[in-house]
Amino acid sequence: MTQDITTSPGKLRSRAWFDDPSNADMTALYLERYMNFGISLDELQSGRPIIGIAQTGSDLSPCNRHHLVLAERIREGIREAGGIAIEFPVHPIQETGKRPTAGLDRNLAYLGLVETLYGYPIDGVVLTTGCDKTTPACLMAAATVNIPAISLSVGPMLNGWHKGERTGSGTIVWKARELLAAGEIDYQGFIKLVASSAPSTGFCNTMGTASTMNSLAEALGMSLPGSAAIPAPYRDRQESAYRTGLQIVEMVHADRKPSDVLTRAAFLNAIRVNSAIGGSTNAPIHLNAIARHIGVELDLDDWQAHGRDVPLLVNLQPAGEYLGEDYYRAGGVPAVVAELMRQGLILEDALTVNGRSIGDNCRDVAIEDEKVIRRFDAPLKDAAGFSVLRGNLFDSAIMKLSVISPEFRARYLSDPADPDAFEGPVVVFDGPEDYHHRIDDPATGIDETTLLIMRGAGPIGYPGAAEVVNMRPPVQLIQKGVGALPCIGDGRQSGTSGSPSILNASPEAAAGGGLALLQTGDRVRIDLRKGTANMLISDEELAERRKALEAAGGFAFPASQTPWQEMQRAVVGQAESGAVLEPAVKYQKLAQT
Ligand code: FES
Ligand code: MG
């Protein structure tokens, strides 16, 4: 007989484990083992909510490790509000530590957390978020299970400094790479410069994927207002952990669930906030994934329609100059939301975890430093969202408009007759290893007119999709002053990169996308106004090439190295639809069904 572990109004789901007179045998078994470390029978049968703390921090996950400390304050909040805290681990995802790519682990952590939240006596959960994929993994799982859930960002590191200048996570790596390639620093100098960007506990201090996703979790209404941007070591971060603990108990009593918060209005708000903060190109993948697991319609057209024309307000690296501490002092997410609200760009009625609407939370918040968070009428850039491109290269790919530099514009987008388009011959790399092998080899034939192509790097080709599309030019070109070439690919790119690449191409080469048909020497044309990306090759020629590709058994990619790589490859979807485990999507609102 399957037991009833679903919720019904006024009844905590943990009662099915700990207080079910009709099933005394099992109840006794559940009780005795949760009592064995000190929780008393009285507590477990008191009708207090059991609150999970989904712990993503560990020694393997330095970005989130401070959650081990914050959990103490979360517990105090839970206890103070009358709940019982039960902390448990989430599969680690450290962006900078996992080979071949942390992208592989988002869906694995998601799966594990779904099982945990569904199968154990948990009435509500605090999701400890931070490093890139930890935030979407947790939100996706909370969406699927749909028990009351609140996210707590671990917060960014303090600002990095080197010789009086801010050094930002990731962003400094791209710069240091160029200095090393140009011979201006040596190996030791390279390591020292990069390490200067990581002065404390916390996640990337730039507007990379971590700051982006935690800002968007707040914009979605899933974390307390003002909490996303607090730097990890600040005392305010401890207080926010305590308040998060208090809040989740209230949420359980109010039965306020992810499906009440994660509405289409919330996602549209998040898309607009993403443009205003200069958010990561990984955001559409993750937000679309969360939307699919909660059952909200959302696709790339929404990003173009609602996000493209929103200006860049937050002056953080890589699109701007400041870092995480500055963002927090300037007002963080509430100041950005309030500024967008004054333009009518926020759907103000969207509910948030504290039971108030986002409008009520943010309406009166002021910008504290207009150098760091600009006013809407004095933005860093106009139209700072993503442009969605389509054509015979792929059904969709995105380009982050906020990082197109003046140099890039001068080189590629300055033809007065055709200011929104560029074209050139391509050099094609099959995966990151091929690129690393050949990029500096003069025989590869790259010059300043070349467009660099990275394929075989999507969710199937390079399981999980590697962050490799932003490729540096060959050393010879850097030494001539060419710091960037246009890059196009089916992989992802680090949110800390300032490269205006065309990425997340779907379908990827490994799924039969047009990129698989491209050959070095072909010409490709990009038109940002029309939103097109095409190989300048006849349909007949493309049909020939496709026939030859199919005869050869399709696009070749490396064998799986682990069981999970093989399993995920068999069921993962494409970047444009969130790169989710497709069979998982039909499992929705598990705690209610
Ligand atoms: Fe973890 Fe950037 S590597 S947040
Ligand atoms: Mg990343």
DSSP 241-294: HHHHHHHHHHHHHHT--HHHHS-HHHHHHHHHHHHHHT--TTHHHHHHHHHHHH
Ligand nearest to the CA of 282: 2
Predicted confidence band of residue 6 (pLDDT cuts 50, 70, 90): low
Ligand nearest to the CA of 198: 1
User: Would you give the distance in Å from CA 570 to the centre of its chain?
Assistant: 23
> Quick one: CA dihedral 104, 488, 495, 140, positive or negative?
negative
Which ligand 1 atom lies nearest to the CA of residue 63? Answer: 1
Going from the C-alpha of 427 to that of each of 32, 397, 522, the distances in angstroms are 65, 19, 8
Mean of pLDDT values over 246-251: 98
Give the N- to C-terminal CA distance of the chain in Å, as an integer.
Answer: 16
Predicted confidence band of residue 2 (pLDDT cuts 50, 70, 90): very low
* C-alpha–C-alpha distance, residues 261 and 350, integer Å: 7
Task: State the pLDDT at residue 4.
Answer: 53
Ligand 1 lined by 467 (C-beta under 6 Å):
no
- Report CA(466)–ligand 1 centroid distance (Å): 15
Instruction: Report the nearest-CA residue for atom 3 of ligand 1.
Output: 95
- Report CA(35)–ligand 2 centroid distance (Å): 41
Predicted confidence band of residue 593 (pLDDT cuts 50, 70, 90): low
- Report CA(63)–ligand 1 centroid distance (Å): 6
Ligand 1: which of 60, 61, 63, 65 to mutate, judged by most atoms within 8 Å of the beta carbon?
63
* C-alpha–C-alpha distance, residues 193 and 162, integer Å: 7
Task: State the pLDDT at residue 8.
Answer: 52
**In this structure, how many other beta carbons lie within 10 angstroms of the beta carbon of residue 233?**
18
Predicted confidence band of residue 1 (pLDDT cuts 50, 70, 90): very low
- The model's pLDDT over 198-212, given as tens digits with 9 standing for 90+, comes to 999 999 999 999 999
Ligand 1 lined by 207 (C-beta under 6 Å):
no
Ligand 1 lined by 153 (C-beta under 6 Å):
no
Instruction: Report the nearest-CA residue for atom 1 of ligand 1.
Output: 131
| Mean pLDDT lowest among 79-88, 152-161, 271-280, 492-501 | 492-501
* C-alpha–C-alpha distance, residues 367 and 362, integer Å: 11
Kindly state the percentage of the chain with pLDDT values over 70: 98
- What phi and psi, each to the nearest 5 degrees, are found at residue 14? -65, -20
Ligand 1 lined by 157 (C-beta under 6 Å):
no
Mean of pLDDT values over 64-72: 98
Task: State the pLDDT at residue 319.
Answer: 87
Contact 568, 464 (CB under 8 A): yes
Ligand 1 lined by 204 (C-beta under 6 Å):
yes
* C-alpha–C-alpha distance, residues 320 and 423, integer Å: 27
Mean of pLDDT values over 47-69: 98
- Report CA(462)–ligand 1 centroid distance (Å): 20
Ligand nearest to the CA of 203: 1
Ligand 1 lined by 210 (C-beta under 6 Å):
yes
Ligand 1: which of 105, 204, 214, 496 to mutate, judged by most atoms within 8 Å of the beta carbon?
204
**Reading across the β-sheet that carries 84-89, which strands appear in turn?**
84-89, 50-55, 124-129, 149-153
Ligand 1 lined by 169 (C-beta under 6 Å):
yes
- Report CA(202)–ligand 1 centroid distance (Å): 8
Ligand nearest to the CA of 95: 1
Mean of pLDDT values over 296-312: 97
Mean of pLDDT values over 266-290: 97
Ligand 1 lined by 95 (C-beta under 6 Å):
yes
What's the mean pLDDT when you consider all of the chain?
95
Ligand nearest to the CA of 470: 2
- The model's pLDDT over 335-389, given as tens digits with 9 standing for 90+, comes to 999 999 999 999 999 999 999 999 999 999 999 999 999 999 999 999 999 999 9
- Report CA(494)–ligand 2 centroid distance (Å): 4
pLDDT at 139 over 60: yes
* C-alpha–C-alpha distance, residues 416 and 414, integer Å: 6
Residue type, 566: E
Mean of pLDDT values over 309-335: 96
Tokens of residue 68, six digits: 């081990």
Mean of pLDDT values over 454-467: 94
Ligand 1 lined by 495 (C-beta under 6 Å):
no
**Segments of 130-182 assigned E as strands:** 149-153, 160-162, 165-167
3-class secondary-structure state, position 387 = strand
Run of H or E residues at 502: strand 502-506
Which ligand 1 atom lies nearest to the CA of residue 62? Answer: 1
Predicted confidence band of residue 481 (pLDDT cuts 50, 70, 90): confident
Instruction: Report the nearest-CA residue for atom 2 of ligand 1.
Output: 204
CB contact set of 320 (below 8 Å; sequence gap of 6+)? 207, 278, 312, 314, 380
Kindly state the percentage of the chain with pLDDT values over 90: 88
This model of the complex carries an ipTM of 0.90
